Amino acid sequence: MKLLLAAASLGALAGTCVANDPSGGWLSYVTYTDPQDRRITALNTTWNVPSKPESLMGSNAPGWWFGIQTKDGDGALIQPILAWGYEGDRYTIFDACFDWTDGSWHTSEDSYTVQPGDTVSSSITYREEDNSYDMYIVSHQTGKSVSMNYQIQDAQHKNESQAYFVLEHQPNRCSAYPSSGLCTFENIYLEVDGEEVSDVAWEAKQENPMCDSKATVVDSKTLKFEWDAKADIADDAKAVLDEPQKWTDATVNENDVPELAPVWTADIVAKTSGTFPGVPHETQTYTEYHDFTNDRRRVDYTDQGFTKIYRYDVQDWDHQPFPAPKGYKMRLDSSGTPDPLSCCWLWLVDSDTGENDKMLPLTIPTKSTDEGATTINGVPVELWQANTLIPIKTTNDFYIGNNSVPVQVNTFSNVLGKGTVIANTTYTNFVAGPIPNSTFDVPDSKPTFGKCKQCGVDPECPMQQCIS
């Protein structure tokens, strides 16, 4: 289990805890408190992952979660979570606990990516032998699950007698919330002191709603959350964005950070170094064709005579048990054209998690701060800085020129006291706009008769050659 002290909470929670739930960062929620203040011993539910947001920025990592807490909201908030933006531009499931007893924030060691439309089930179960709770969350589609146990602190003398279902973290713009505008919790099971509560008297409430958000009690086993991704945010509502966010950096920048183009071409020089064991000390020079809108990317290493094409947009059913995208490597001829007869391919699948790789856009986090004007590489720029703690302490400096053109991006990470990782990426000849479809053409890679051969399977395409 990871333990972090929420930066925004340190001042407020020094000495005696003075805050509690509901948090000011909640939009809409549903609650139930046992009338006799008895202990909740089990709470289970199932819900679907919403669609992707139209805007990939400005969302402050919205979360859809349920959990348990004391009747006064001042103890351990036990909460399995589905969140967008927790680990980049994707949905993530994980377990967590924000404990108001000492202001500490705890998260599970594991977390997994889930896709829009996936079904997620989760449970919270009490363990009497050590006064703790087991959290569990699983994706039905991938089978990936996260478990975490949290022991109630000795300083907490109240029962966990209150249940919550919550929509949390206000956006800077409503388009940063999923366009589907709906998340429904179903098959809810609540148990108090080991006995099922058959007809739960849920109450729907508003804390700091935005984007016309609301919670609705459909019945004792079904709760519905709705919002309007096309709504406008009123000026007087934006002050709520100052509320601390638990699973994002607690500082929310009120200024609109530059929105970088999703489709672009640029010449890039990328340097890496550092003291962390195994980090490469190298410089790579290449031309990148970046089409995030259509989930495809090409990188030409002209000096080395080859190109790599990443086709995240094509999900091939030849991969089992689920379709996966493919990556291709080909030699470049003297005119810079890929040679299809030299083609090798591999599955774009994470070797550690078994999940499909995802294409990520070049974006500046919404919680970045404007550090002012400066000059880099002889170009006048504005410096935007973002600091993160999860999963490791990292500082990102974005040097942005006129018309939101990136000039350089520097990253410095301190890996848990074991060393540093430093990356400097310089962009020149940056052109935003459509890229011809032919740029991403690849030969047929079907087994047996395809021109492109599989890495690590065909002797013409050894795996080491493919990944170098």
Entry pTM: 0.53
Q: What is the pLDDT of residue 1?
A: 52
Find the mean pLDDT for residues 324-344.
Answer: 93
Q: Identify the CA nearest to 137 among candidates 188, 70, 92, 184.
A: 92
Q: What is the pLDDT of residue 252?
A: 37
| CB contact at 8 A, 329 and 454 | no
For residue 13, is pLDDT > 70?
no
Find the mean pLDDT for residues 379-388.
Answer: 88
Rounded-to-integer distance, Cα 459 and Cα 454, Å:
9
For residue 442, is pLDDT > 50?
yes
Range 312-332 burial, b when 16+ CB lie within 10 A, else e: beeeeeeeeeeebbbbbbbbb
Find the mean pLDDT for residues 416-444.
Answer: 91
Rounded-to-integer distance, Cα 436 and Cα 359, Å:
19
Q: Quick one: pLDDT band at residue 426, thresholds 50, 70, 90?
A: very high
Rounded-to-integer distance, Cα 138 and Cα 301, Å:
40
Find the mean pLDDT for residues 241-254.
Answer: 46
Give me the chain's average pLDDT, please: 86
For residue 2, is pLDDT > 60?
no
Phi, psi of 404 (to 5 degrees): 55, 40
CA 28: distance to chain centroid?
21
User: Around Cβ 55, how many Cβ atoms within 10 Å?
Assistant: 18
Q: Which comes out higher in pLDDT, residue 273 or 244? A: 273
Taking every pair of C-alpha atoms in the chain, what is the biggest distance, in angstroms?
Answer: 80
Q: What is the pLDDT of residue 14?
A: 28
Q: What is the pLDDT of residue 7?
A: 28
- Cross-strand partners of 320: none
Rounded-to-integer distance, Cα 90 and Cα 269, Å:
27
DSSP character at residue 439: G
Q: Identify the CA nearest to 131 among candidates 45, 4, 1, 41.
A: 41
Instruction: Give, in order, the Cα–Cα distances in Å from 152 to each of 70, 149, 379, 421.
Output: 11, 10, 55, 37
Instruction: Give, in order, the Cα–Cα distances in Å from 6 to each of 103, 247, 288, 388, 447.
Output: 7, 9, 38, 12, 51
Q: What is the pLDDT of residue 56?
A: 64
Instruction: Give, in order, the Cα–Cα distances in Å from 143 to each of 202, 212, 322.
Output: 30, 34, 12
Residues 6+ apart with CB under 8 A from 432: 261, 263, 264, 403, 405
The gap between the terminal CA atoms of the chain, to the nearest Å, is 35
- Cross-strand partners of 268: 286, 427
pLDDT in tens, 450-463: 789 999 888 989 99
SS3 call for 438: helix
Q: What is the pLDDT of residue 330?
A: 95
> Looking at 6-87, which runs of residues are DSSP E strands?
26-33, 40-48, 63-69, 76-85
Count of alpha carbons within 13 Å of 321, Cβ hemisphere only?
Answer: 4
| CB contact at 8 A, 328 and 299 | no
pLDDT in tens, 280-305: 899 999 999 999 999 999 999 999 99
Torsion of CA 329, 333, 337, 341, to 10 degrees: -50
Torsion of CA 283, 427, 249, 294, to 10 degrees: -110
Of 46-55, 386-395, 401-410, give the lowest mean pLDDT range: 386-395
Q: What is the pLDDT of residue 233?
A: 66
Q: Which alpha helices (DSSP H) does 101-178 contain, by range?
A: none
pLDDT in tens, 48-86: 999 988 876 545 568 899 999 999 999 999 999 999 877
For residue 23, is pLDDT > 90?
no
Residues 6+ apart with CB under 8 A from 351: none
Find the mean pLDDT for residues 344-361.
Answer: 85
Q: Quick one: pLDDT band at residue 246, thresholds 50, 70, 90?
A: low
Find the mean pLDDT for residues 128-150.
Answer: 94
Which range of 80-89, 237-246, 370-379 scores highest in mean pLDDT? It is 370-379
Find the mean pLDDT for residues 83-103.
Answer: 86
